[in-house]
Amino acid sequence: MNQIVQNKIIFFRDLGIEHWSNTFEKMNNFTISRNFYTLDEIWFVEHYPIFTQGQLNQKPNLKYIKNIPIVNVNRGGQITYHGPGQQILYFLIDLKRRKLNIRQLIDIMEKTIITTLNELSIKKAYTKIKSPGVYIHKKKICSLGLRVKKYLTLHGLAINVNMDLTPFSYICPCGDINIRMTQIKEFKKDITLEHLRNILVKILSNFFCVMMVKK
């Protein structure tokens, strides 16, 4: 496969709902085994309830909060919650191929979410320089955390869509005691994850200047 094709296509997968550990293993295996010819991919997935702790906030002896498991992960950021009704996107991107640095990729991710919210008539979403993610009405709607190894990215973002937000109250999301969480359902009652994914694919295609191909 020539370099022009590599630059013009990103595969995307809909993994449905999976245990976090299964997706983490697949993500690592994909990254370890990829080579110059491997096309970039973006994975859409929901996870069963779990707290994940980034490298800034790891407490090895803490295994559960309110019967929800906790795992330490090799991404940036601090603690967050994943559960059904939250759309997660894993970005398996070759930064060198895309001629991007990590800050530029984060900008694309944040702008993708803000543009998606605009498409849903949810206005006035914004970002914070010192706290990556997307916010609306002083609440956080999308969390972000990445790892980069030899220009290859792992992990990604999680946008709250139609979920039980209660577990966020058991933690300080992203290490900030003042953060409160929100979700798309609070602004658009009839939202579905399928509809959201269709919008995200279109907008990601525009921001990356690629054809998004389902795999």
Q: Catalogue the active-site residues.
A: 174
Is residue 144 annotated as involved in ligand binding? yes
Distance CA 85, CA 145 (A): 19
Is residue 83 annotated as involved in ligand binding? no
- 46 in Cβ contact with 193 (< 8 Å): yes
DSSP category for residue 84: T
Is residue 75 annotated as involved in ligand binding? yes
Distance CA 145, CA 94 (A): 16
Q: What's the token pair of residue 60?
A: 């090895």
DSSP category for residue 181: B
H or E stretch covering 166? none
Is residue 39 annotated as involved in ligand binding? no
Q: Across-strand partners of 44? A: 14, 89
> Sign (positive/negative) of CA torsion 94, 100, 102, 104?
negative
Is residue 76 annotated as involved in ligand binding? yes
Which residues are CB-neighbours of 198 under 8 A, at least 6 positions away? none
Is residue 78 annotated as involved in ligand binding? yes
Is residue 81 annotated as involved in ligand binding? yes
Is residue 80 annotated as involved in ligand binding? yes
Is residue 19 annotated as involved in ligand binding? no
Give the residue numbers of the binding site: 75-82, 143-145, 156-158
Give the annotated binding-site residues for substrate: 75-82, 143-145, 156-158
